[in-house]
Structures are given as C-alpha cells and as structure tokens.
Structure 1
Amino acid sequence: MDSGIEGSDWGVTPGADNERREELIIRVLEYSATHGLSDMSLRPLATAVGSSPRVLLYYFGSKEGLIREVLARSRARQLEIVEQAANSGGNPIETLWRWLTDPGQIEIEKLFFEGCVRSLHDQDGAWRDFGSASVQEWLAPMRQLVTRTGAAGNTPYAPTLVLAAIRGLLLDLLATRDQERIEGAFESLIRLLRTEPEEPA
C-alpha cells in the first residue's frame, strides 16, 4: 500500500538526508517567495516542490517549523546582500539599494515584508520575532555601511535612520511601482547623508 512517503527520503544516510532537506527548503523558499506564506497549505506546497506533506513534516517537524525555516532563510538572504554591500566598492548604501531593487529580488522582498507584518500579530506562532530579528540582524552591518559612506551625522542612531528610510522606500516601491518618484527620494536621501552638519552658532 502506498504510504504517501517518498522512499528516497527514508532510510538514507545522514549526509544524503541533509542534502534532501536542503534541496527541499530551497524549493519551498522559491515557492513561498512567489505565493506567500499566509495561506500556505502543505498539500499543494508539497506537490509544487516535488514532495509530500508527510515528507515535509519529517524534515521540518510541523507546518510552523517549516514556515520559521523559510522566514529565517529569507532573512539570511537579505543579510548576505547587506554584508556584500559593506564590502563593495563605491558608495555601499547605493550598492545596497541597487541590489534590493533589482527585479530579481522582488519576490523575496514581498516575502520579507509579509513576515514583518505577520509578526506584529503572531506573538507565539511561526512568525514570532521575525520583525524584531530582521532589525537587530541588520543594525551592525548597516553601521559599517554608514561609516564607509562617511555620512554626515554619523551618530549611534544613524544606522536605524538609514535602515528605516531604505525599507520605507522599498515598501513604497513594491506597493506603487512608482520607480521615478522612489528613485528621486532615494537620491535625496543620499544627498542628505552627504551634507555636512552646520557648525553651532
């Protein structure tokens, strides 16, 4: 009788088991970036990624565990972009902005903001702490970006200000797709960061 479990996922060596898990999470992340997570159902998800609900539960424990893994991976992807920008040439804040607004990043950005919004209401479930973690993880590399840019007014709160501005503009861009207006606003932000603070009278 068919158990509904893919035979290749059971009774395998630990190394192969980990490889299969990694393969599945990558597929689930791609699927979630396109379809979102709020209304995710295991059966259509499993079909889309070439697996079964029981196999997904075997690897991730529960639907909640799977969602938390996907959200953690999406945060990690964005954090990699920040760290790459910090080590790039030119103005690292502009480099970060170009990478975040690249058309290839749109779906993962949508997933990121979905996680932030859901975490405001879900204090105990799969989405808990996503928004808070996504801020705390960014602050240290953002300080590197602000310092390397030589931004005026580089205070302990400058990374928070720049992070909030970039995320606000990115959310606006996703919502309105008004590229010209948002790019103009970003250029204004860069000019403000370059402005030398006035000497006290």
Structure 2
Amino acid sequence: MWYMPAARDPRSALVERAIDHLAERGTTDLTLRGLAAGLGTSHRMLIYHFGSKDGLLVAVAQEMERRQLAALAALREAPGADAGQVMRGMYRHLHDPALAPYMRLFFELYGRALRANEATQPLLAGVVESWLEPLVEFVTAAGVPPAEAAADARLCLAVARGLALDWLATGDDAALDAAAERFFTGLEQRWHDADRN
C-alpha cells in the first residue's frame, strides 16, 4: 500500500488531507482560501503552517516522495528479495491504478517547480537527490562497481519516472510492461556480468 502517513501532528494531518484533495481536483485555479475550505480549515492556519500556497504544495510533493521512498525500502527489506524482485515490485507499485491520481499530482507539482517559481524551488532540491542515496546503495548491493553505481541509480530513477509518465499519458499497459521488462532484464544481465568480473 502506498499510503504511509507521517506522524499525526496538525501540520502532517493537513498535508495528508491536502494530498487527497489535490489528487482529486488538481492545482489549476487553486487559491489558498479555496484549498483551506476544501480541507476544512482556514487560510490563516495554512499560512501559519506552510507560509503560502506554494509552501503547502512543496510539503505535499515532499510527503508523496517520502511515501514512495518508504515503499521502495519495504520492498528491499522483504525476506529473500533480490534486485530483480525489487525493481519489478516497484514498477508494479507505481503502476497501481489506485496510485494514478497521486502520480498525476506529483507530475503536476514537479512541472510547477520547473517553471522556476522561487517558492517551489525546495521541491527541485530533493526530487532527484533524495532517491540517489538509496538507489546507489541498492545498485551497489546488486554487484555494480561503485564508480558506475551513481549513473545506474540515476538511470533507474529516470526510467521509472518516464514509464510512470508514459502510463499516465497512454495507459498502454502491454507496451509499458514489455519496455520495463526489457530494461530490467538488461540491467540484471549487466549487473550479473559485473558481479562475475
């Protein structure tokens, strides 16, 4: 299950409600007062906790990323899990139809940050880096030499996000499954060869 809430302090509770609200409605024409009404709170309370609408959107995106990192960690910690199982498990997780509204929201927020809005820059600061350390560790554990692990980790993240975006745009499960399997099989073969050398 992707939904892994943080501690239930008032700020975290608002973020959780905002994630569900925004996943259903998106961020187009979003106002702080309208969002506050949808969350059952006041705009003053949102300003108190997040500083601005953009501050709340950054908190939402960061919490969504935290949940996905937790999902990856759970797959890695499963008894007997190997690299192939983890990669395929994360692919299935990211292509769960129940996750689609949240993935759309993530890409929407990512796009807002890429428009060079100063208030959303904190999202860009961690949107790649927060994944690299656990992925480098994962790739290194699969037998990849440390000098190559960072590039492979970044490649895994780029492919995962690219496939997720393709899935949201096309819904072509068969084509995406074939592309993902080709990628996973190629990586496994290369990692196996590297481990033997």
Fold-level similarity (TM above 0.5): yes
In structure 1, list runs of 5 or more residues that go unmatched: 1-17
Q: Does 1:134 align with 2:127?
A: yes
CA distance in 2, matches of 1:152, 1:77: 29
Q: Of the two structures, which has the highest relative contact order with CA contacts closer than 8 Å and spacing of 6 or more?
A: 2
Aligned counterpart, 2:137: 144
Please say if residues 169 and 182 of structure 1, whose CA atoms lie closer than 8 Å, have aligned partners that are also in contact. yes
**2:121 counterpart SS class:** coil
- Please identify runs of 4+ aligned residues in structure 1 that moved more than 4 A: 148-154
State the Cα deviation string for residues 169-198 of structure 1 (Å, max 9, x = none).
Answer: 111011111111001100111111122459
Q: Quick one: structure 1 residues 38 and 79, their matched pair in 2 at CA, closer, same or farther if it must change by over 3 Å?
A: farther
Partner of 1:107: 101
Which string of whole-angstrom CA distances, capped at 9 and with x for unpartnered residues, describes residues 125-168 of structure 1? 2x214234111110111123334445799823111111111111
User: Helix, strand or coil: the match of 1:44?
Assistant: helix
Distance in 2 between the 1:80 and 1:191 partners? 24
Gaps of 5+ in 2: 1-7
Q: What TM-score, normalized by structure 1, do the two folds share?
A: 0.78
> 1:133 and 1:63, CA in 2 relative to 1: closer, same or farther beyond 3 A?
same
TM-score scaled by length of structure 2: 0.79
Q: Tell me the residue number matched to 1:6.
A: none
For 1:166 and 1:114, the matched residues in 2 are separated by 17
Mean alpha-carbon deviation: is it higher for 166-175 or for 130-139? Answer: 130-139
Aligned to 2:31: 41
* Residue 26 of structure 1 pairs with residue 19 of structure 2: no
1:131–1:21 distance in 2 versus 1, CA, 3 Å? closer
Matches of 1:189 and 1:154 in 2, distance apart? 21
Describe the SS at the equivalent of 1:195.
helix
Higher helix share: 2
Aligned position for 1:72: 62
Whichever residue aligns with residue 107 of structure 2, its letter is F
Given candidates 38, 47, 50, the residue that maps to 1:57 is 47
Backbone CA RMSD of aligned residues: 2.5
Q: Is the 2:95–2:164 contact (alpha carbons within 8 Å) kept by the matching residues of 1?
A: yes
How many percent of aligned residue pairs carry the same amino acid?
Answer: 32
Amino acid at match of 1:160: R
The residue type paired with residue 64 of structure 1 is D
CA contact (8 A) 1:85 1:95 kept: yes
Count, aligned residues: 180
